């Protein structure tokens, strides 16, 4: 029987508020008071720095970015600097890894498969690149050829990054998660070194398909892909109801 996962659509939530919610839910998950939870969120404009981030990833300096209306926040997730903003779908799975093979690397590979399946259903082919985390769209000249065939085992080449992953694991429970560019402004990525990769081109679902996309409908597709890949049974829960039970 598939394990249950509560799916919560949170809307636009400030980054620090979302972090606090994750902390509360992770503590309850560690005590086995709640089942796994999948938070679906958009954030106001914010740059987040992972545990391995270096100052040169934000070359303009924090004050310059904040003057553009973009917060800069440190975080305990893995990975380097990235950008979140309205129109980007962020999914935070608060899950006990024991039911997922108890291996964070295998779980990350599963999250990449979730993104690839969801993007494929939306009409955008995506793949992974060996040695890098996240998912990428191949160059347009020959979409039938794989990224690996085009650019080798570890180079970025002309591939465009569309989805990112950064996790934190404490006492066997995950926080943070994945982000897929759907309709968000891509300009802020050009002001940083996203994910520590010099010269990387970022893209979005709307850019690849040439029209704005229904973020809610794509969230449905992502949840369905997560359920298939990890054999979970998604159960929709209202944001308010979850907050009432998370204190």
CATH topology (fold) of 3-125+160-244: BirA Bifunctional Protein; domain 2 (3.30.930)
pLDDT in tens, 168-204: 999 999 999 999 999 999 999 988 876 556 667 899 9
pLDDT in tens, 70-127: 999 888 776 778 899 999 999 999 999 999 999 999 999 999 999 999 999 999 999 9
pLDDT in tens, 21-72: 999 999 999 999 999 999 999 999 999 887 766 777 788 888 899 999 999 9
- Non-local (6+) Cβ contacts of 153 within 8 A are 130, 131
Query: Which residue's structure tokens are 């300096």?
Result: 61
Question: SS3 for 139?
Answer: coil
CA atoms of 42 and 180, how far apart (whole Å): 10
Given the residues 80, 195, 223, 229, the one annotated as active site: 195
Question: SS3 for 70?
Answer: coil
CA atoms of 38 and 51, how far apart (whole Å): 23
Q: Assess contact for 14 and 43: CB atoms under 8 A.
A: yes
**Residue 10 annotated in active site:** no
Tokens standing for 123? Answer: 């009409």
Q: Model pTM?
A: 0.87
pLDDT at 150: 42
Measured from the Cβ of residue 45, the count of other Cβ atoms closer than 10 Å reads: 19
């Amino acid at each position: 029987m598939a394990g249950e996962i509560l799916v919560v659509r949170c809307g636009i939530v400030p980054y620090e508020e979302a972090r606090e919610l994750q902390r509360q839910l992770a503590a309850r998950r560690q005590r086995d008071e709640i089942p796994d939870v999948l938070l679906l969120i958009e954030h106001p404009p914010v740059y987040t720095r992972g545990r391995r981030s270096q100052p040169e990833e934000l070359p303009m300096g924090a004050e310059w970015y904040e003057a553009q209306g973009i917060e800069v926040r440190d975080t305990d997730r893995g990975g380097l600097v990235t950008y979140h903003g309205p129109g980007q779908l962020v999914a935070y799975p608060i899950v006990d890894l024991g039911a997922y093979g108890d291996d964070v690397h295998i779980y990350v590979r599963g999250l990449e498969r979730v993104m690839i399946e969801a993007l494929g259903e939306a009409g955008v082919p995506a793949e992974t690149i060996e040695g890098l985390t996240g998912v990428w769209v191949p160059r347009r000249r020959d979409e039938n050829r794989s990224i690996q065939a085009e650019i080798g085992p570890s180079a970025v080449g002309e591939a465009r990054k569309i989805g990112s992953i950064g996790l934190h694991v404490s006492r066997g429970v995950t926080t943070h998660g994945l982000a897929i560019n759907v309709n968000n402004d891509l300009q802020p990525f050009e002001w940083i070194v996203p994910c520590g990769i010099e010269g990387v081109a970022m893209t979005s679902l709307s850019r690849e398909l040439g029209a704005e996309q229904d973020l809610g409908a794509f969230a449905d597709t992502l949840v369905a892909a997560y359920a298939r890949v990890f054999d979970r049974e998604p159960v929709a829960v209202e944001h308010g109801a979850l907050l009432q039970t998370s204190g």
